[in-house]
Amino acid sequence: MLAERWNKQELKNSMVEQQVLHFIEQQNRPYNAQIVADNLAQYGLKKGPIQKALDALSEAGKITCKEFGKTKIYLAPQDGAEALNKEEQDAKLKEVQELTDKCKEGGEAVRRLRKALADTRNTLTLEQIECNINDLQGQIQEQSGKLETLRSGATLISSAERVAIEKAFSAAMSHWAKRKRIFYNIWNSLRENIEGKIADLFEDIGVETDEAVDADLKSFEQLLPKKFKVR
C-alpha cells in the first residue's frame, strides 16, 4: 500500500514537472514561481508543487535558475538558441517599442474610461435633481416669508419676552463666570506640584476648558445689554 501511494505521488510530481517544463519552454521568457503558478492555476496546480517542480527541473538541468537575493528566476536554457543578427535585433527592438507604446496608449485609455465612469457615478440623476430643486424652492419660500415679516416691521417678540430672554442670558453668563472663577481658584492652588502638559491632564480627567471648545466668555458678555452686568 505504501509503495502504491509512493508511485502515485511520483507520477503526480512527474506530471506537474512536465506541465511546468512545457510552459517554461513554450513561453521562453524568465518567470518567478508565483507567475508560473498564476498561469497554471487554471489547470488546478498549486504554488507548492510548482515550486518543487521548478527546483527539480533546475537541478536536472532542464531549465535554468538565476538567483537574485531571495528571488529565484527560472527560464528555458538558451544554449541552443540561435543568435540574432543586427537587423533581427533592430526589428525586435522596434517591435518591443511599438508594443510598449501601445501599452501606454491602452493604459491612458483605461484611465480616461475610469475617470468617465467615476464622473458618471457622481452625476445626479434627473429624479435627484428635481428633488433637490423642490427642496431649494421650499427653503426659498420659507426664507422669503421670514424676510417679508422683517421688512414689514412686525414685532416678532413682545417686550416682556425680550426682557425675560435677556435676564436668562445674563444669569447664564453670571453662572459661567462664577463657576470658572471657582474652578481656577482651586486649580491654581494645586497646579504647582503637577508635572506634564496641563491640556493632557485636563483631557485625562475630563475637564473641558473654554479654550478646548473654542468658547470666549468676554465675546458672549458683549452681547448683553449695558443694563446687565456679569458678576
Residue 25: which CATH number? 1.10.10.10
Is residue 89 in a domain?
no
Q: Is the pLDDT of residue 2 over 50?
A: no
162-216 tens-digit pLDDT: 888 888 888 888 888 898 888 888 877 777 767 777 777 777 777 788 887 788 8
Residue 42 sits in which domain range?
8-75
Total structural domains within the chain:
2
Four-residue CA torsion sign, 194, 196, 198, 200 = negative
CB contact at 8 A, 64 and 26: no
Determine the average pLDDT of the residues in 113-117. Answer: 85
CB 201 within 8 A of CB 194: yes
Per the domain annotation, does 188 fall within a domain? yes
Say if 2 falls within a structural domain.
no
Helix boundaries (H) for the chain = 2-27, 33-40, 47-59, 86-122, 126-151, 159-190, 198-205, 217-221
Assess if residue 122 is contained within a domain: no
Cell of 154: 412686525
Q: Which residue has the higher pLDDT, 182 or 221?
A: 182
205 lies in a domain?
Answer: yes
Predicted pLDDT of residue 171: 86
Query: Which domain-ending residue is among 49, 75, 101?
Result: 75
Domain stops at, among 52, 75, 98? 75
Last residue of a domain, one of 53, 75, 97: 75
Q: What is the pLDDT of residue 54?
A: 93
Phi, psi of 223 (to 5 degrees): -80, -15
Write the burial class of residue 16 (CB in 10 Å: 0-12 exposed, 13-18 middle, 19+ buried): buried
